[in-house]
Amino acid sequence: MRAGVYDSGIGGLTVVKSLIEQKLFDEIIYFGDTARVPYGVKDKNTIIRYSLEALEFFKNFDIDIMIAACNSVSAYAIDELKANAPFKVSGVIEPGVMALKNKIPNLDANILVLGTTATIRSGKYERLLKQNGYKNINSLSPSLFVPVVEEGLFEGVVLETVARHYFEGIDEPDVIILGCTHFPLIKDEISKFFPSSLLIHSGEAVVEFLQKEFLLNQTFKQTSLKLFASENPDKLKKIASVWL
């Protein structure tokens, strides 16, 4: 079973980590569009166009499923990907909501969704959460985190300053959805501002979601990973060797 995992950059590695840990695939082909990251500040049509180009890339491999491990793509381009793909396609927003449902039965919980401008503008998290009965939802797009993470700054003064810029004065919610796959890489910094909030990300429920939705029930002894990037693949490989 072979998966193609796609993100604008390195963030999708946070989803790859969960996929490798749970051994759902014997091979993962990863593509990070590092030449054009960030996606989250771009408009809907651009994100759809980039996603369809990534789809063409994955058509060169005999994959069983393409996982858009990017919330901005999941927010805007999933329907177009599904309509044009010769294999199954999954996003990460539904798994993120599933992860929250698994952990938070209280429908009155205060939820803060952190995502890119594109993800928040799409309103997809908010819609799905409301459909599931949650009432108290706020959203914030700390888009500057994406270039900071791409720069490999997972701690330190730059990250701290950006975090303060977005988070100072924000009430601590019960739960925070890390609605951008780059954000789990800086979860320690986010927790400094919101020490009692539970942090949720899509990687947590992605395997459960894929098993349920696509009936992927086999597991494999190990998963091999091939990494591709539209620019500077060595940087992607370096970060993968640290994060995975």
Q: Does 90 bind ligand DGL (CB under 6 A)?
A: no
Q: Does 15 bind ligand DGL (CB under 6 A)?
A: no
Q: Choose the catalytic residue: 15, 37, 54, 70.
A: 70
- CB closer to ligand DGL out of 57 and 136: 57
Q: Who's near 192: CB < 8 A, 6+ residues apart? A: 163
The Cα 112–Cα 126 span in angstroms is 10
Question: Annotated catalytic residue: which of 176, 180, 207, 229?
Answer: 180
From the CB of residue 70, how many other CB atoms can be counted at a distance below 10 Å? 35
Among positions 90, 116, 122, 223, the unique one binding ligand DGL when judged by CB under 6 A: 116
| 204 lines the binding site for ligand DGL (CB under 6 A) | no
Determine whether 70 is an active site residue.
yes
* Minimum distance from residue 49 beta carbon to ligand DGL (Å): 14
Cα 45 to its chain centre, rounded Å, is: 19
**String marking each residue 181-200 x if it binds ligand DGL according to CB under 6 A:** xx------------------
Among 18, 34, 71, 141, binds ligand DGL (CB under 6 A): 71
Q: Give the 3-state secondary structure of residue 85.
A: coil
Residue closer to ligand DGL (CB basis): 7 or 189: 7
Residue 203 CB contacts under 8 Å (≥ 6 apart), including other chains: 14, 15, 17, 18, 19, 92, 95, 181, 184
Count CB atoms within 10 A of the CB of residue 225. 18
Minimum CB separation of residue 39 from ligand DGL in Å reads: 4
Query: Would you say 91 or 173 has its CB closer to ligand DGL?
Result: 91
3-state secondary structure of 59: coil
Among 40, 91, 95, 203, binds ligand DGL (CB under 6 A): 40
Indicate whether 72 belongs to the interface with ligand DGL (CB under 6 A). Answer: yes
Residue 67 or 175: the one with the smaller Cβ distance to ligand DGL is 67
Least distance from ligand DGL to the Cβ atom of residue 226, Å: 20
Give the span between the Cα atoms of 141 and 38, in whole angstroms. Answer: 13
Instruction: Say which amino acid occupies 186.
Output: I
Active site (annotated) includes residue 155: no
| Cβ-contact 70, 38 below 8 angstroms | no
Helix (H, G, I), strand (E, B) or coil at 42: coil
Per DSSP, 11 falls in state T
Task: Using CB under 6 A, list all residues that contact ligand DGL.
Answer: 7-9, 11, 37-40, 70-72, 116, 119, 146, 180-182
Give catalytic residue positions.
Answer: 70, 180
